[in-house]
Chain A
Amino acid sequence: MRRSPKETEVAAGLVTRRGVVLGGIQLGFMGVLGLRMRQMQVTEADSYRLLAEENRINVRLIPPSRGIIYDRHGIAIAENAQNYRVVIVREDVEDVDEAIAKVRRLVNIDDRELERALREMSRRSPFVPITLADQLAWEDVAELAINAPALPGITPDVGLSRIYPLGPDFAHIVGYVGPVSERDLAQLQNPDPLLQIPEFQIGKIGVETKLEDQLRGKAGTKRIEVNAGGRVMRELSRDEFTAGQDLQLTIDHGLQNYAQVRLANESAGAVVIDIESGDLLAMASAPSFDPNLFVRGISTKDYNALRDHEYRPLFNKAVQGLYPPGSTFKMMTGLAALRAGVIGPRETVYCPGFMSFGGRRFHCWKRGGHGHMDFNNALMQSCDVYFYEAANRVGVDRLADLCHEFGLGERHDLPLSAIQEGIVPSTKWKAQVRGERWNPGETLNTAIGQGDVLASPLQLAVMTARIASGRAVVPRLIKSIDGVDTPVAEAPPLAVDPGILAMAQKGMWNVSNGSRGTARRSRIVADGIEMAGKTGTSQVRNITAAERARGVTRNDQLPWNRRDHGLFVAFAPFDKPKYAIATIVEHGGGGSSAAAPPARDILLYALYGDIPPLEAYPSEQRERIKAMHEEMALRPRLKPEAKPSRA
């Protein structure tokens, strides 16, 4: 279209005006953009910077290494072993199923484990390493490493896991660790954030759980840079963890092993205590179990087998098991009566084989009766009638007081699970617990350690140590924590005249060494380390009058679980008491036949600090003992690798 020059000028002027207006608007908008940038990058920069930091930095916990538990000589009982495992990173694997199949050709992965791994894999991000199998042998790891080029995304890895090198020996004392359960978390007020780490282990029973705080240590932290997907890009800084504190137990690993093996075929418990210091040298409970099974997570089948076993391997008989102490209680009855002066030290009681009381006959174990018995003889021959009479004179309450002084009915405070207090009956106890009045006939039952009296082997061992020393020996299980010795509790003298106590000790010497002693067969013949003990047999069934008339059924004719418990308490050497022991063999029959022999053998081991020489045994038993020791699968004593110190 033709335009006049004038129109062209007008048009150009219009474009110029509009163009300048447009340019102005554009400039204005750019100003807005600039101001917005200024607002974000200058005024609010700090808050955005903070957000950016929060975006990229994650703080992760570094689990501490758990404190090591040693025996009194520095032998590791619980330590942290390198746990070789194989992990898979899903995103680095082309075909997960195929990769797993390849791995399974090299190492054994059980189905349960695999199922867990697959489940976890589907839940987690593809770059998170998932454990396929752990507790691998070094050979398996080597095999995997060799095949690494053919297995992208599969890597052998190493972590720390709890291991109990001495296996079942310390299962009941040290216990075991396991993964944190929902229940564990629910029980805690302020759970340590460490517990949220997958595969973190905490103590479940025994010392492992009771001293969890000391053993666990403090987590370290690392600040890591992550990308938007949560993948770790690099580590920015690191605060190392504080390792858990090492513990040293008072237990002697060799003695513990000997006791466990000696009792292995029985359902039994034994406690050896150092009379001077109160150190517990052995706390056996047989049969035992391998705590390592629990660390990995025990299978239901294995667990049920342990749980349902007639001999209750999961049960710690040394502190958790309560038994009528039977005749081992007679020292208490005698001492109570002598201390009260209700019976003279040389005063005799006539035993016709029974005692009539409240229209009932209380029988002595010896049907024909013992005749005239003083304290010493009554103890040696375990005459029931003497103690019926003594108890009747002193009364149950004064007896109970003495029992508490000797540690019965007391909860010895050790870092162990399920410690039982036991029962020392008294009129007050009966009124409180049963809401009934005391029946005087019960005093007679109590006198011979039957009726309501219940004590654990630990309590009986402490009782024996106190009889032997005349001091209130306090048991101690932890020798040192973190290299610092735990103090030996003071053992004040007991309020019993030493002369009276000496009579009880002498009576016990007679039990083991006297010509008519009930445990004479289980004596120690080596000079200077003679043993003093007391047998006990506690009935787990009532013997009816009719049965008694027929003649009491012999134990070996009864089913196992109706047989009597055999008990034996002892200390040695008699002249200078060093160690005390209490042994219970559940349904083992009589104390002299079932409990005294192993107790003597264990005590001898404690005295010699190793397998005792045959000279310590009565000559006629030496052949049998030699054969027995050869048969026992004992672990040779271990030498400490290094002084136990903080790792």
Chain B
Amino acid sequence: MTYLVNQVQTVPTGLRKVLYVNWALVLLLTAVASVGFLMLTSVAGGDTGRWAEPQMKRFVVGMISMLMIAMVPIWFWRSMSGIAYLGALGLLVLVEVMGEIGMGAQRWIDLGPLRLQPSELMKITLVMVLAAYYDWLPLAKVSRPLWVIPPLLLTLVPTALVLKQPDLGTAILLIAGGGIVMFCAGVSWWYFIAVIAAGVGLVYAVFTSRGTDWQLIKDYQFRRIDTFLDPSTDPLGAGYHITQSKIALGSGGWAGKGFMQGTQSRLNFLPEKHTDFIFTTLAEEFGFVGGVSLLALYGLIIFFCVVSAVQNKDRFGSLLTLGIAATLFLFFAVNMSMVMGLAPVVGVPLPLVSYGGSAMLVLLAAFGLVQSAHVHRARNR
């Protein structure tokens, strides 16, 4: 058994757990979500009922689930990791099959009030299962090639399924998320260098596959990459979104145009303004100050997670915390890069801000795990 079991008497129990919840994190998550409510109100032209209110309800539900998950001991969640992973994988296969039967690509399962995207679930369960794997694996074996293969498979199987949907954004997040957990677990630097080299090779392969029978990604994905590389080639077509998004962002200036005064978003020049491009509206209406403030909030969340992970002697807990923090980071980093024209448009929402049910619930549930690890860590008295 692990160190944790030996030290179990130092873990808070009963109602005392509530005191040990990372309340700073709760506050930061609420702050970020509030920015979301504000922006959803703005893009709806001041109508809170359209997007902001449903989002608030989900946030409340998500917060309650987070705290409930936090109260459950972390070792229970560790023991659930494998089942959760397999469950998410099963759902991923299920939507794939449903997609085959139904019309076109389907990414979600309808659960009445909620549309669950198995790929969202997979991002978290992958982190869980890898954290559990490295918790189980003796330290000496971590960098052994044989023991690197299982986590690779655990990552690549769902990635392949997601890529087939096709959802390039989530696929990238899964690979990055898995890689980050492996990195934190102490897998040798050489593997990462090799993977990056392989990644470059894959990109090369993708580009050479263009126009051939074995084309690896869809035409629209190619076009997105093209327009990312040079948006001006197609200013009214696919490059339109990037161009308009950059105009909105840049025209916001230092302090922005003011709440609900963003011409770009109000006059529909922005695409997907309540989902993937919501950051643009924020940057347009609240300027550099607003954009950097949100970035700082995210940064503080990451910071508190890293601190929590560093203080945690439990390998599963700390790896899980770092992995989930990294997932959050990947979300907003990719999203912001996308709207600023630093990355192609891949369809990744801004975490806790973009309108969307399952993403927010899954993310808050994941932070429930982070809280659980935080609450149930061994403390030196």
Determine if B306 and A20 form an interchain contact, defined as CB atoms under 8 angstroms apart: yes
Known contacts A15-B318, A20-B310, A22-B183; is A30 also within 8 Å of B340 by CB? no
Give chain B residues whose Cβ lies under 8 Å from the Cβ of A228: 244, 267-269
Residue of A nearest to B247 (CB): A51
Against B, the Cβ 8 Å flags (1 = close, 0 = not) of A246-257 are 000000000000
Known contacts A16-B310, A33-B340; is A55 also within 8 Å of B183 by CB? no
Residue of B nearest to A229 (CB): B268
Against A, the Cβ 8 Å flags (1 = close, 0 = not) of B222-264 are 0000000000000000000000101111111110000000011
Which of A39-47, A130-138, A279-287, A632-640 is found at the contact surface with chain B? A39-47
Question: How many A-B residue contacts, CB cutoff 8 Å?
Answer: 155
Asked if B336 is at the interface (CB within 8 A of a chain A CB), the reply is yes
Asked if A361 is at the interface (CB within 8 A of a chain B CB), the reply is no
B180, B288, B318: the one within 8 Å of A37 (CB): B288
Determine if B254 and A45 form an interchain contact, defined as CB atoms under 8 angstroms apart: yes
Complexed CA–CA distance, A4 and B319 (Å): 19
User: Within B328-357, which residues are at the interface with A (CB < 8 Å)?
Assistant: 329, 333, 336-337, 340, 342
Residue of B nearest to A54 (CB): B247
Complexed CA–CA distance, A591 and B325 (Å): 109
Determine if B318 and A41 form an interchain contact, defined as CB atoms under 8 angstroms apart: no
User: Within A16-62, which residues are at the interface with B (CB < 8 Å)?
Assistant: 16, 18-20, 22-23, 26-27, 29-30, 32-34, 36-38, 40-42, 44-45, 47-49, 51-52, 55-56
Give chain A residues whose Cβ lies under 8 Å from the Cβ of B158: none
Interface of B is mostly: helix
Against A, the Cβ 8 Å flags (1 = close, 0 = not) of B266-299 are 0111000000000000010001100110010011
Give the distance to chain A from B55, nearest Cβ to Cβ, in Å. 24
Against B, the Cβ 8 Å flags (1 = close, 0 = not) of A220-238 are 0000011111000100000
Determine if B180 and A22 form an interchain contact, defined as CB atoms under 8 angstroms apart: yes
Asked if B9 is at the interface (CB within 8 A of a chain A CB), the reply is no
Give chain B residues whose Cβ lies under 8 Å from the Cβ of A18: 183-186, 322
Complexed CA–CA distance, A227 and B264 (Å): 8
Which of B78-86, B133-141, B201-209, B360-368 is found at the contact surface with chain A? B133-141
Asked if A550 is at the interface (CB within 8 A of a chain B CB), the reply is no
Known contacts A30-B298, A48-B250; is A15 also within 8 Å of B322 by CB? yes
Complexed CA–CA distance, A30 and B291 (Å): 11
Asked if A105 is at the interface (CB within 8 A of a chain B CB), the reply is no
Give chain A residues whose Cβ lies under 8 Å from the Cβ of B186: 11, 14-15, 18
Give the distance to chain A from B200, nearest Cβ to Cβ, in Å. 18
User: Within A196-250, which residues are at the interface with B (CB < 8 Å)?
Assistant: 225-229, 233
User: Within A450-490, which residues are at the interface with B (CB < 8 Å)?
Assistant: none
Residue of B nearest to A5 (CB): B3
Give chain A residues whose Cβ lies under 8 Å from the Cβ of B183: 18, 22
Give the distance to chain B from A519, nearest Cβ to Cβ, in Å. 77
Asked if B1 is at the interface (CB within 8 A of a chain A CB), the reply is yes
Complexed CA–CA distance, A472 and B295 (Å): 90
Determine if A29 and B319 form an interchain contact, defined as CB atoms under 8 angstroms apart: no
Give the distance to chain A from B253, nearest Cβ to Cβ, in Å. 4
Determine if A30 and B299 form an interchain contact, defined as CB atoms under 8 angstroms apart: yes
Complexed CA–CA distance, A56 and B270 (Å): 12
Asked if A7 is at the interface (CB within 8 A of a chain B CB), the reply is yes
Give the distance to chain B from A377, nearest Cβ to Cβ, in Å. 88
Give chain A residues whose Cβ lies under 8 Å from the Cβ of B380: none
Asked if A3 is at the interface (CB within 8 A of a chain B CB), the reply is yes
B139, B254, B319: residue with the most chain A Cβ atoms closer than 10 Å: B139
6 residue pairs, one from A and one from B, having the closest CB atoms: A48-B250, A52-B251, A227-B267, A41-B288, A45-B253, A23-B306
- 27 of the cross-chain contacts (CB-CB < 8 Å) are A1-B137, A5-B3, A5-B6, A8-B2, A8-B3, A11-B139, A15-B185, A15-B309, A15-B319, A18-B184, A19-B322, A22-B180, A29-B333, A30-B299, A33-B337, A37-B249, A37-B288, A37-B340, A48-B247, A55-B247, A55-B264, A56-B269, A225-B267, A227-B267, A227-B268, A227-B269, A228-B244
Q: What is A's interface to B at a CB cutoff of 8 Å?
A: 1-3, 5, 7-8, 10-12, 14-16, 18-20, 22-23, 26-27, 29-30, 32-34, 36-38, 40-42, 44-45, 47-49, 51-52, 55-56, 225-229, 233
